[in-house]
């Protein structure tokens, strides 16, 4: 039986994910934060079937998200910190995005492998691109951005610390979303000023997070499209989880545009998951590369593959750093 355990674990893996997705969708962790609650009371509060909800709660106990004391359920610290939608460190936005969007797209992974293209039209019946679909409504946009912010809180401090950036004076995060990387960089380097550059629909959300971080005087937001609009001046640009979204012609266009905008000795900081040289791990990077297959036109790469892209755009030096976090860091110099 022990030889089959890896297979049995993988068979159950999607079930465990769906337990998490459903519990967050029902806001169970938010409801349990003030005080322990019984399954019967939670069922009444959420208009769910009492026995069915209790099975879901018990699964959350088995997953070490909740604890049970007799008839009462309570949050464990991991749920209080990461699964409540009003927690400052919440990952609930990414969980909801995974449930409503990624879970459905991954259901068509076989067709994506056969055809080598994303699954938006097949899954959702829309020819709109990924970002048009993710930003279709105000709530869709906010859920996605909150998800990216939660993941950014885990990765951005490590990315900002990967290299000594103290010689740079102005940092511009292209496609910077909620500003989490700019915030982390400014907190680490007190002399740094920053700009978050993203689509007009995103910048009001970024402004709220920057104001909340107390960095309004050092970080500004600038609306624009990084493919078509001029960049704000900076001596250090950043792309976090951007390059992996696009095909090589689009990447070449973007990197060349950044290179042209930089002053001599200016830098480009990249944050992506790096594959091992033979593409045989780490697992999170392999899974993310498949995620890019079903969601976008991009993929994950090795450090050497990123270096080749950057040198083709004109950058003269390159460093890569494995952060031990969910994103790795690379620094290229003009």
Active site residue ranges: 244
| Tokens encoding 59 | 């699964």
- At residue 281, the 3 state secondary structure works out as coil
Neighbouring C-beta atoms of residue 8, cutoff 10 Å: 10
- Burial class, 260, CB count within 10 angstroms (exposed 0-12 / middle 13-18 / buried 19+): exposed
What is the spatial distance between Cα 201 and Cα 207, in angstroms, rounded to a whole number? 11
Q: CA-to-CA distance for 320 and 329, rounded, in angstroms?
A: 6
Q: What is the DSSP string of 184-253?
A: HHHHH-TT-EEEEEE-TTTHHHHHHHHHHTT-TTTEEEEE--TTTSPPPP-SEEEEES-GGGS-HHHHHH
Partner residues linked to 222 by β-bridges: 197
User: CA nearest 175: which of 152, 193, 143, 155?
Assistant: 152
C-alpha separations of 129 from 33, 148, 226, 289 in Å = 38, 18, 16, 18
Neighbour tally for 47: CB within 10 Å: 8
């Amino acid at each position: 039986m022990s030889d089959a355990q890896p297979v049995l674990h993988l068979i159950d893996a999607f079930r465990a994910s769906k337990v998490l997705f459903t519990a967050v969708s029902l806001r169970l962790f938010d409801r349990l934060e003030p005080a322990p609650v019984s399954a019967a009371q939670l069922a009444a509060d959420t208009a769910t079937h009492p026995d069915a909800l209790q099975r879901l709660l018990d699964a959350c106990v088995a997953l070490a998200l909740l604890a049970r004391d007799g008839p009462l359920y309570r949050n464990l610290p991991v749920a209080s910190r990461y699964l409540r939608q009003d927690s400052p460190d919440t990952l609930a936005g990414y969980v909801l995005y995974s449930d409503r969007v990624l879970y459905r797209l991954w259901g068509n992974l076989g067709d994506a492998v056969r055809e080598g293209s994303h699954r938006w039209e097949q899954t959702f019946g829309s020819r709109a691109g990924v970002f048009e679909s993710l930003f279709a409504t105000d709530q869709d946009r906010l859920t996605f951005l909150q998800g990216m912010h939660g993941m950014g809180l885990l990765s951005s401090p490590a990315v900002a610390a990967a290299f000594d950036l103290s010689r740079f004076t102005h940092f511009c995060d292209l496609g910077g979303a909620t500003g989490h990387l700019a915030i982390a960089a400014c907190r680490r380097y007190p002399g740094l000023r920053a700009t978050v550059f993203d689509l007009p629909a995103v910048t009001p959300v970024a402004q709220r997070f920057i104001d909340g971080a107390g960095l309004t005087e050092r970080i500004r937001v600038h609306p624009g499209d990084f493919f078509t609009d001029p960049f704000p001046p900076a001596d250090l640009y950043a792309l976090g989880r951007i390059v992996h979204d696009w095909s090589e012609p689009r990447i070449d266009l973007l990197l060349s545009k950044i290179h042209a905008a930089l002053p001599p000795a200016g830098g480009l900081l990249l944050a992506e998951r790096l594959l091992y040289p033979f593409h045989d791990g780490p697992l999170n990077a392999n899974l993310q590369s498949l995620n890019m297959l079903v969601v976008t036109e991009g993929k994950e790469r090795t450090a050497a593959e990123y270096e080749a892209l950057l040198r083709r755009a004109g950058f003269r030096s390159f460093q890569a750093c494995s952060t031990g976090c969910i994103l790795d860091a690379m620094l290229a110099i003009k």
